[in-house]
Structure 1
Amino acid sequence: MDIMHKRWCLNNYSFNPLVTSLMQTSCILAISHFFHLLLKPVGQPGPVAQVLAGAVLGPSSLSRIEDIREFFIQPTSAGYYQFFSHLFEIMFMFLIGLETDISFSNRNLSVASIIAYSGFILNCILGAALSPLFIKLLKIPDKKVEFAIVVMMILANSASPVVIRLVADLKLDTSDVGRLAATTSLVNEMSCVLIASLLYAVSSWESFSYLFLSFLLTGSLIALNRHLARWINKSDRESKYVSNAYVSFIFFLILVLSFVIESCGYSSTLSCFLVGLMFPRKGKTCRTLLSKLSYPVHNFLLPIYFGYIGFQFDINYLKSIPTIVTIVVMILLNFGGKLVSTLAACHYLKIPLNEGVMFALILSLKGHFDLQLINVPPNSVAYCLFSSLLLQLWWNPGVRSVLLSIVVFDTIIAGIIVAFTVKREEKSLAHKQTSLELHDLESELRILACVYFPRHSLGALGLISALSGSKRAIVTPYLMHLVELPEKRKTNLLYHQLAEGDQYSDEDDYGGDDVVEINDAVDVFTSETKILINIVKVVSSSATLYEDVCTGAEDRRISIIFLPFHKHQRIDGNMEIDKEGIRTTNQRVLRHAPCSLGILVDRTVTGFQQPHCSNSVQHIAILFFGGPDDREALACSKWISSHPQVKLTLIRFLQVSEQISRNHNQDNEVMLAEPTNGTEHVIDNTSLVEFYNRYITSGQANYTEKHVSSGAETVTALRELRDSYSLFMVGRGGQRHSSITTLSDWEECPELGTVGDFLASSDFNTNASILVIQKHQHTTDNSFRGDY
């Protein structure tokens, strides 16, 4: 960079351009927070407020004032803006790849591709067909083919960072609609980047060789990261976090790769995304990167980036009729093309109409790659990054302002409409899989296992292992580390969020070495089973801890929560109380849980063990007395029955007067005689018939009956079973009153139900673990109602 040129710039402008850049970002953040507070009550997401904040600060509003314009809009600051913008792109594209749900994307890649490419093709055709009109209206003198290509790409593209941020703000990031929209936008934008790169590559042999070099360097860094992450994970097993030196080195490698690719004339967006997507997800390296990147990117970098999109909007160039006509026509083409193509693709894929309309609106969002096409010619990227001269544009500032206006209007209009659509469709988009009885075995099962101490993690991981045994089952497990806070303050944290020097860094008060032990247990489990577990840490007071569990389950669309019992097994086999606060929290969660719930009485020493990578077979018994909770336990066993290291037995308890008569038909199906005392019994028999025909006749589970006439006979039958199984599963029972389930005159732990309380008591004297399940009951009142 020429020193004399810099000195001349500083002499002619009153402010250092670096100071101008920093002040601009600060003002964008302040104004965007103000707009967010105003628009949040009406359901508007963050990106809309941030783009509006940039537009207010830009030449269309506040920068029309001469002093503000002279401060913010300086030719010498353009290079700084572009440089920082490029750094932001590197970080958030790498983070997007790192946060991408690979499992969901793999399962739905064909669906996302059909939706993405239908919109891409139709909008490209519309853009190519009407490009001559736009060229005539805007009076493009040269580079008409390049202009047509840019118009096609702008109409076809969907900005994945904007889509992902919008989906997260609207709390759709864990829903199928939101995740499919995010995957579709990624397929769309990465395809646009790849096609633009290929078009530039075929222009000359040198360009093609540079493209090959870019792919080679990207693949090399992906391979290097796999070995580097494995080495870093093993380098310091005793620490909670990967050191800043390792993190800085990984960022440095990504930065070098990006600058090399940009200097070759190509966008590094695709490479940064692929490096993040292929980064190893196991171990502390990935968790540390997520914790160090998530907060600054989502709360600072993306708002600044979206604000910069609005800041570039200049209404002063939109005074002529041709420019207004061009903008209106391109906006209509964008929404019309996306709507027609997406609805056609959704009709082919049998996706509901309301979801198809929402996909079309979400995929109409612009930004990111569109700005790269508008601002910088592909053969001078490096020059614009490192030069302090005014950016060399494709066309005159008026044409650039028109294209930027289209990006801004598309983003604001689509964001506002999507927000109101989500609010209107709130019931249809709400989480419905809140119990297992009606949950399809082929659909995704999302489970949340809570732990307080490292000893709880063994039982939680064992349940996750048992439920993940089927190759057909799609299980997404979360492990929530609950830390009771003595003071009245609360924070929800991602794993490793509390780095050294942060607000809450007292290890003794906030998890201490428990974090390291839970970390190690999860890492070993993931290494052995290849099951990826999402870990969340919650720090809260004992009085409000249940709210965090329930809110976390609702936000993550969990179908069943597993809680640890407030007692643990000592080495001598006896049960000892951990903390009375655990019991209180369990009781409150039982009342307010937004889904089904299970309490695990874990006897890790003698009872249920992790089935994966185990030489011994785990024998599990489902005790079925009848009622919705027992049916929920039976439904839960459907996932467990497919595990090769599990032997499942269904044991039905019947009163002597209600014995089942069997009738075998030609297909060897068992028909259960319908009893005469209630609708619940009819539903029980229907569930048992379905389970029998699907799992017992196929040999995946065994079936037996116990005929009893009183609670005393039930106790005798249970004592005969206590040494035969490592885990008993039973429903909590709710308000069930039956003579065969009245096992004693007192209850020590009513949260376990009558049968579960007896199984967990010292009177039963078993070595087996106990899992007590309560089915979620849909209620109109979802508020927290106080103590248990």
Structure 2
Amino acid sequence: MSIIGSILGIVFVSRILLWRILVPEEKAVTTVPETGEPCVNEMHLGIIFVVLLLSTLISEIVGQHYYLGPIVFGLSLPDSSPLGTAVVSKLDTFVSGLLYPTFLAISGLKTDIFSVSFQLAWKTAVIVFIGVVARFVAVMVPAMQGKIPFQEAFVLGLVMNTRGITELIIYNLFLEDEKMSSQDFTLLVISSALVTAIISPLVKLLYDPSSRYATGRRMTIQNHNKDGELRMVLCVHQHNNVPTLVNILEASNASEQNPIAVIVIVLVEVVGKSAAMLLAYRPQRSLEPSSSSNNHITNAFQQYERQNEGKASVQVYTNMSHFDAMHDDIRRVAANKRANFIILPFHKQWAIDGTVGAVNQPIREMNLKLLECIPCSLGILIDRGPSNNSSSSLNSKSVYQVAVLFVGGADDTEALAYGTRMVKHQRVVVTVTRFLLLGQDNKGRKHESETIEEFRKSNSGNARFLYQEVSVTDSTGLTEYIRNMDNYDLIIVGRSHPNSPLLLGLHEWSECPELGVIADLLASPDGETTSSVLVIQQQKMTATTNKLINQQSTRNLFIHDEQYSERSSIDRLSVHSSPSVAISIDIDKIR
């Protein structure tokens, strides 16, 4: 009766607290002025922590282990935002940084290997082996009955045999209650460590997560069907990035012949939830009240869809999870929607005065994971807001200036392909700048010259497509030119480039390797550039993807992979009759 009474008392008290905290009239939940996100009153958080400690005392008084009270109290609290997020954010550093390592260290001190006899160790090993096999079979059989492939069912069986903090807590409880001896405790701890140590590398060896996102075709902007629908996934974390994203969408030139399907994923970190949630937004006839950051984001893209009715469609999802798991949902959405391009936020936010205002390290970790495996091309947006004191809306501007920097490689080719799509917009001017090594024979780069020439031919007659060549002697000249670029609203550049004397030594000074050396220069606060930068990485061809493409006999559509004639690129440029402008600049003479 005392146990039942204590449980009911803890639940009853927690419900009263929740009613006081979550009811809007009590003003316990407020909003952060900068972001509009809800936050919980500090006083109410303090009351929750006091009740948490009291619940442990009540559990001991009624003769139960002190674990009972916190478990019941925790189950009474909602794990969603804002309350769950606030509680976990306050406790996470203290628990993960101090209590958890201390608990592991104490458990290790209780483990006395020299007190174990060989006979007892042999018997325990047999019991553990039988338990592992039994759980393995119990997982694999239902999984294969559910038509899960054998290899994935095998890996699932391995994962279910891993041991963690829960088993260690149970072993410590049994040891404290003298339900097991010190030898039994030692053997169980050692067996858990050995089983986990064996299973972990096997799972990494047998299971490749990227295979789930492998496609049988190249999902890039360059290989996109010119008469088909371009599918873009936009990941938004701060509503401050929305104006620049909308401008990029407008500049992407949605039309009835070549529409754009936009999939917006609003990234909401919920540290209080253990399971990720991907919620679809239901479109409304009218705009949502702008009472939160999410509504601001949704309204902006809903307005874009209305202005481009028949040309663009928008779907909005809210991804509520840890940042450690967000990359998996983004991959899944991109694969299911057959996206051609994903735009991710940069982990640094710029203030009004041009300095770095905030750094979000979890965003950077998410971007690094996505760069390793993604089913399409990917871009990282370095958003500095509207440049040159211009309006934030492309529709209200006379000209939207876009620069494409070309050094060489597949990523730069993808950037060039996106720039040539933008130049079809009536208010967009695209300037392609190709960097050459002064005083050197650039005939070895004929392959790149042919690539650029193909794009120039496709824009023949378009005076808004400008082309210039900049000759530099070394990486110093390249760095000086790039850091002084400040006449554009958006700069597009590839992430990776082939080895070149133009980039010699720049990798050693790179602060953000995920951007590449060129974009890292543009993102540096030391430069004078105030333009937003879009860093593009073309879809990586994994072994699984190449196998699927070979099986389907898909034609290689990469322009830089096609065979070209042996005619010199200089001759081709001299006889080319396109009205687009070609300018050659010697940066050393300018200096």
Q: TM-score, normalised by structure 2?
A: 0.51
Matches of 1:471 and 1:458 in 2, distance apart? 23
8 Å Cα contact 1:573-1:606 kept in structure 2 = no
Match of 1:448 in 2: 233
Q: CA deviation at 1:573?
A: 2.5
Matching of residue 778 in structure 1 with residue 537 in structure 2:
no
Q: CA deviation at 1:599?
A: 0.5
Matching of residue 616 in structure 1 with residue 378 in structure 2:
no
8 Å Cα contact 2:386-2:392 kept in structure 1 = no
Matching of residue 568 in structure 1 with residue 349 in structure 2:
yes
- For residue 704 of structure 1, the aligned residue among 453, 465, 468 is 468
Counterpart AA for 1:560 = F
> For the structure 1 residues 431 and 515, does the alpha-carbon distance in structure 2 shift closer, same or farther, using more than 3 Å as the test?
farther
Matching of residue 522 in structure 1 with residue 304 in structure 2:
no
Matching of residue 654 in structure 1 with residue 436 in structure 2:
yes
> For the structure 1 residues 476 and 781, does the alpha-carbon distance in structure 2 shift closer, same or farther, using more than 3 Å as the test?
same
Matches of 2:391 and 2:447 in 1, distance apart? 33
Matches within 5 A, 1:96-495: 430=215, 432-469=217-254, 472-487=257-272, 488-495=274-281
Q: CA deviation at 1:756?
A: 0.3
Cα deviation 1:669-695 (Å, max 9, x = unaligned): xxxxxx23xxxx444222111111222
Which runs of 5 or more structure 2 residues have no equivalent in the other structure?
1-35, 38-210, 284-289, 546-591
Partner SS for 1:543: helix
> For the structure 1 residues 574 and 433, does the alpha-carbon distance in structure 2 shift closer, same or farther, using more than 3 Å as the test?
same
Indicate the percent of aligned positions where both proteins have the same amino acid.
Answer: 29
8 Å Cα contact 1:465-1:610 kept in structure 2 = no
Matches of 1:711 and 1:697 in 2, distance apart? 34
> For the structure 1 residues 578 and 696, does the alpha-carbon distance in structure 2 shift closer, same or farther, using more than 3 Å as the test?
farther
Partner SS for 1:552: helix
Partner SS for 1:642: coil
Counterpart AA for 2:368 = Q
Matches of 2:531 and 2:374 in 1, distance apart? 26
Q: CA deviation at 1:743?
A: 6.2
Match of 1:765 in 2: 528
Partner SS for 1:766: coil
Match of 2:519 in 1: 756
8 Å Cα contact 1:448-1:553 kept in structure 2 = yes
Matches of 1:593 and 1:647 in 2, distance apart? 30
Cα deviation 1:462-494 (Å, max 9, x = unaligned): 221111355642211111111122142111110
Q: CA deviation at 1:455?
A: 1.2
Matches of 1:688 and 1:766 in 2, distance apart? 25
Matches of 1:698 and 1:513 in 2, distance apart? 43
Partner SS for 2:502: helix
Partner SS for 1:544: helix
Partner SS for 1:521: helix
Match of 1:577 in 2: 358
Matches of 1:706 and 1:611 in 2, distance apart? 31
Matches within 5 A, 1:73-88: none
Match of 1:688 in 2: 452
Match of 1:633 in 2: 415
- For residue 600 of structure 1, the aligned residue among 351, 376, 381 is 381
Partner SS for 1:532: strand
Match of 2:42 in 1: none
Q: CA deviation at 1:716?
A: 2.3
Matches of 1:479 and 1:654 in 2, distance apart? 38
Matching of residue 644 in structure 1 with residue 397 in structure 2:
no
8 Å Cα contact 1:562-1:597 kept in structure 2 = yes
Matching of residue 546 in structure 1 with residue 327 in structure 2:
yes
> For the structure 1 residues 430 and 605, does the alpha-carbon distance in structure 2 shift closer, same or farther, using more than 3 Å as the test?
closer
Q: CA deviation at 1:440?
A: 2.8
Matches of 1:528 and 1:434 in 2, distance apart? 27
Cα deviation 1:414-465 (Å, max 9, x = unaligned): xxxxxxxxxxxx99x9552411222232222111111012112222222211
> For the structure 1 residues 432 and 452, does the alpha-carbon distance in structure 2 shift closer, same or farther, using more than 3 Å as the test?
same
8 Å Cα contact 1:627-1:733 kept in structure 2 = yes
Matches of 2:216 and 2:377 in 1, distance apart? 13
Matches of 1:496 and 1:540 in 2, distance apart? 20
Match of 1:43 in 2: none
8 Å Cα contact 1:435-1:560 kept in structure 2 = yes
> For the structure 1 residues 471 and 569, does the alpha-carbon distance in structure 2 shift closer, same or farther, using more than 3 Å as the test?
farther
Matching of residue 739 in structure 1 with residue 501 in structure 2:
yes
Partner SS for 2:509: coil
Match of 2:589 in 1: none
Q: CA deviation at 1:522?
A: 2.0
Partner SS for 1:533: strand
> For the structure 1 residues 596 and 658, does the alpha-carbon distance in structure 2 shift closer, same or farther, using more than 3 Å as the test?
farther
Matches of 1:657 and 1:440 in 2, distance apart? 40
Q: CA deviation at 1:571?
A: 2.0
CA RMSD of aligned residues (A): 2.9
Cα deviation 1:643-665 (Å, max 9, x = unaligned): 111111110001124566xxxxx
Match of 2:481 in 1: 717
Matches of 1:582 and 1:448 in 2, distance apart? 16
Cα deviation 1:63-83 (Å, max 9, x = unaligned): xxxxxxxxxxxxxxxxxxxxx
> For the structure 1 residues 458 and 742, does the alpha-carbon distance in structure 2 shift closer, same or farther, using more than 3 Å as the test?
farther
8 Å Cα contact 1:715-1:743 kept in structure 2 = no
8 Å Cα contact 1:463-1:610 kept in structure 2 = no
> For the structure 1 residues 704 and 552, does the alpha-carbon distance in structure 2 shift closer, same or farther, using more than 3 Å as the test?
same
> For the structure 1 residues 729 and 559, does the alpha-carbon distance in structure 2 shift closer, same or farther, using more than 3 Å as the test?
same
8 Å Cα contact 2:478-2:502 kept in structure 1 = yes
Q: CA deviation at 1:719?
A: 3.9
Partner SS for 1:692: helix
8 Å Cα contact 2:428-2:464 kept in structure 1 = no
> For the structure 1 residues 729 and 557, does the alpha-carbon distance in structure 2 shift closer, same or farther, using more than 3 Å as the test?
same
8 Å Cα contact 1:614-1:645 kept in structure 2 = no
Match of 2:61 in 1: none
**Structure 1 or 2: more helix by fraction:** 1
Paired residues, number: 325
Match of 1:513 in 2: 292
Counterpart AA for 1:526 = E
Q: CA deviation at 1:578?
A: 4.3
8 Å Cα contact 1:569-1:603 kept in structure 2 = yes
**Is the deviation greater in 690-699 or in 444-453?**
690-699
8 Å Cα contact 1:479-1:533 kept in structure 2 = yes
Counterpart AA for 2:280 = L
Matches of 1:753 and 1:537 in 2, distance apart? 29
Cα deviation 1:570-621 (Å, max 9, x = unaligned): 2223222242111111111111111110001011142686664223311111
Q: TM-score, normalised by structure 1?
A: 0.39
> For the structure 1 residues 611 and 646, does the alpha-carbon distance in structure 2 shift closer, same or farther, using more than 3 Å as the test?
farther
Partner SS for 2:543: coil
Matches of 2:476 and 2:255 in 1, distance apart? 38
